[in-house]
Amino acid sequence: MGQMAGRTVLVTGGTGGIGKATALGLATMGAHVAITGRDRERTEDAAREIRAAGGGQVDVFVADLSAQSEVRRLADEVLQRLPGIDVLINNVGGYWHTRQLTADGLERTFALNHLAPFLLTNLLLGRLEQNTPARVVTVSSNVQAMGRIDFDDIQGERSYSGGRAYNQSKFANLLFSYELARRTTSVTANALHPGVVRTSFGAEDPSGIQRWLVPYMWPFMKTPAQGAATSIHVASAPDLQHVTGRYFANSKPKRSAKHSYDEAAAAQLWQVSADLVGLAALPRV
C-alpha cells in the first residue's frame, strides 16, 4: 500500500524536473497525486509516465499560474474534483533575465514564484484544514540568504535584475511559509532548498552567465530525483506531522538567513500580497 496510501497530494509545476520527480516519488509511495502544468499535452504525458511507473491515480490540472484568474480557476477545479487534500506542494517557479509582465501587469518572477503559491494556498486552505494534519510545502532555495523584500520597488519597476528578482521571490517563499505557520494551527507550513538540479530551469530567458556556466556545472548538479528528495521527505515523513515553520535542506532542518525570521517583514509581505491578489488578510492565531 505504501506510506502515503490514502493521502492526496497536489504538486504545482509537476510536468518536469523536480516537480515531476516529486509527484512520481509520492505516487509510488501510494499517494493519490494531482499535478498542474501550463500545457495540457505535456501535463498528460507526465501523468501517464507517473502511472506507468506504478503511481496509480494521477489527476491533471492545466493552468498558467502567473495569471491570478488562472490560479483562481485552478483552485475552483481542485475543490470540485478533489474531496480532500492532505499535502499541497508549491513547486512551480521560474527565472527571467529580463523584466516581464504577467496578464495582471505584475512582474513575472514575483507573480509566479510568490503570489501564485500565496493565492493558491489561501484559496485551498479551508480544504486542507479539513484534512488535519495537512501540510503545505513550499520550494524555496538557498539564494533566500541573498534575498531582500524591496517594499519600495517590489515589482522591479525602478531597477530590475533577474537575479535580484529571483532571490527576492525565494526569500518571499520563506517569509510566506513562516507567516502561514503563525496564522494557522491545523496545517503545517514548511519551506525547503532542493539543491542545484539538472533541469531546464530559466531556459526561456537565461542570462549570459547561465548560458556559459551551466554546461560546466551540469555534471556536478543533482538529478531531478535527488532534488525532489527533500520535497518528498517534508511532504511525507511521519515525524514531521506536527513540525511547522521550518526550513529544510538535504532532508534535514536548517536555519535560514537571520533576516528571514523578521516577523514584521513577514506580516508586511503578507498584507502586500493579500492586497495584490485581492484577498482579505488571514489573521494570526
Burial of 207 (0-12, 13-18, 19+ CB in 10 A): middle
User: Is 166 tagged catalytic?
Assistant: yes
Indicate which residue of 95, 166, 178, 247 is catalytic: 166
Alpha carbon distance 218, 236 (integer Å): 29
Alpha carbon distance 121, 78 (integer Å): 12
> Is the Cβ–Cβ distance between 276 and 115 less than 8 Å?
yes
3-state secondary structure 11-48: ECCCCCHHHHHHHHHHHHCCCEEEEEECCHHHHHHHHH
Nearest to 143 by CA among 162, 127, 124: 162
Alpha carbon distance 162, 205 (integer Å): 10
Q: What is the C-alpha R_g of the chain? A: 17
Supply the residues annotated as catalytic.
166
